[in-house]
Amino acid sequence: MTGSNTRLGVLLMVATTFVFAMQDGISRHLAGTYNVFMVVMIRYWFFAAFIMTVSARRAGGLRAAARTVQPALQAFRAVLLVAEICVMVLAFVLLGLVESHAIFASYPLMIAALSGPVLGEKVGWRRWVAIAIGFVGVLVILRPGARVFSPAALVPLASACMFALYGLLTRYAARQDTAATSFFWTGTVGALAMTAVGIWFWQPMTGPDWVWMAALCVSGATGHWLLIKCYEVAEASAVQPFAYLQLVFASAIGITVFGERLSPNVALGAAIVVGAGLFTLWRGREAAG
């Protein structure tokens, strides 16, 4: 890729993380009043419509996008992601944006740790050391020995584990399917699965909250569109480190909008986790090169 494309990719990734952080803030607001399943269901309806619109405009249309030789894997990926989103939104309600994202930032370390046994990729000793240090950072955030330890802190950790597995399965699926196919299955099957659950938890919404719901749907589609464009113009390894900015943006929203507090252990733990994650990304890029 050219330097200009890389710079554009970085700008698009920064914009993506900002939009997704806004989406997280809106999700926290809505899920504080309405059932999480209903909120995620409506969001997925719009997401599925967006994906089908994008897929229909590509060569071969919807039929080409849906074509796969591994439907069970694609369906499992889709259900896993929608379940992970429900768990993470619940974490926003229980813990807030700051602590949830600080813990969730450990998912790249989990991907690196599991890429060997799941994908057969080689993980050198330097990355293993970074992974271990990163999980020390998670322990600093969680403070498992403290009297005030909250079991709710395990909710975003579970979400990070689920998202890491989703990321690994997506890389595995990419060996036989295109990104467009994986994207199509993620949205459509996810919407069907979420509807089967969420429809039983329907609650009437106020007019202003429907406006917030519309903003949630639009921000989700916009974020995914920006992410697609980002990977079109720049290599993933070049822009991926900037994905950590979602932690910064989401924390800023949590502090300024929801009155959350950034405690010293969360700040220190998040810095350790992000530092370790950036190192594993760098070592992965060096090994690939």
Domain ranges of the chain: 3-288
Mean pLDDT of 223-248: 83
| pLDDT at 2 > cutoff 50 | no
- CB contact burial 183-212 (16+ within 10 A = b; e otherwise): bbbbbbbbbebbbeebeeeeeebeeebeeb
pLDDT > 70: percent of the chain = 94
pLDDT of 34 reads 96
Distance between CA atoms of residues 38 and 101, nearest Å? 22
pTM of the model: 0.90
> Taking each helix axis from N to C terminus, what angle separates 97-104 and 264-288, rounded to the nearest 10 degrees?
30
- For the ranges 164-168, 210-214, 274-278, 285-289, the lowest mean pLDDT is seen at 285-289
Distance between CA atoms of residues 278 and 265, nearest Å? 20
Other beta carbons within 10 angstroms of residue 254's beta carbon come to 25
pLDDT of 146 reads 57
73-86 per-position pLDDT tens digit: 999 999 999 999 99
**C-alpha triplet 266, 268, 271: angle, nearest 5°:** 105
- For the ranges 71-85, 111-125, 184-198, 235-249, the lowest mean pLDDT is seen at 111-125
Mean pLDDT computed over every residue of the chain: 88
